[in-house]
A = this chain, B = another copy of it.
Amino acid sequence: MNTTVSITTQGQGLYEITSQVEAFVEECGVSDGLCTVFIQHTSASVIIQENADPSAKRDLEQWLNRLVKENDPHFTHTAEGPDDMPSHIKAALTATSIAIPIVQGALALGTWQGIYVWEHRRSSHRRNVVVHVGE
C-alpha cells in the first residue's frame, strides 16, 4: 500500500511529517511490517532527527550550510540559482529514502525520533514524499 504526503516548504529547514506517516500506517492495519518514506526530489531530503529540542535542528541546518557553501567558485551548475548546487550536494550527503519497521501496528521510532522533510532550497517548494507500507 502506498500514499503520497505533500507539503509546501517555506525555505530551508526541517518540516515534520511524523503524524501523516503514522496516520497512513494505522490506516493500513499492518501489524508487523515495514514503512518506507521516499522523497521525489534531488534538492531536499528525508531525515529522522530529535523531535524534542528545536536548537538541535537549527544547529544541524547551520552546520551543513557552513560545510556546503553557496557561490563556491568551483561550481559550474549555477543556472538555477546559488542555492541549487549546494542543495544537490546536501541531498547526496543525507537520505532520499528511510525504512522504518512496524512493530505491533506502530512505527518503531525511538522515543526522541521524528520524521522530517529537509528542505535545502531557499524558496518555497511543493515536496512529495511517497510512503509505502508492506509486510
Evaluate contact between B48 and A60: CB separation under 8 angstroms: no
Copies in the complex: 3
CB distance from A58 to the nearest CB of B (A): 7
**In the complex, residue of chain B having the shortest beta-carbon distance to the beta carbon of A132:** B101
Residue in B49, B63, B100, B135 whose CB lies within 8 Å of A38 = B100
Q: Quick one: given A2-B103, A134-B34, are A42 and B113 in contact (CB under 8 Å)?
A: yes
Query: How many A residues face the partner with a CB closer than 8 A?
Result: 60
Q: Which residues on B sit within 8 Å (CB–CB) of A85?
A: 56, 59-60
Interface string of A31-66 (1 = CB under 8 A from B): 011101011111000011110010110111011101
> A91 vs B131: C-alpha distance in the bound complex, in angstroms?
22
- Looking at the complex, which one of B59, B97, B109, B128 makes contact with A77 (CB distance below 8 Å)? B59
Find A108's partner among B53, B93, B130 (CB 8 Å cutoff): B130
Q: What is A's interface to B at a CB cutoff of 8 Å?
A: 1-2, 32-34, 36, 38-42, 47-50, 53, 55-56, 58-60, 62-64, 66-68, 72, 74-77, 85, 88-89, 91-103, 108-113, 128, 130-132, 134-135
11 residue pairs A–B, Cβ–Cβ below 8 Å: A38-B108, A40-B109, A40-B111, A42-B110, A49-B88, A56-B85, A59-B88, A64-B89, A93-B94, A95-B96, A101-B132
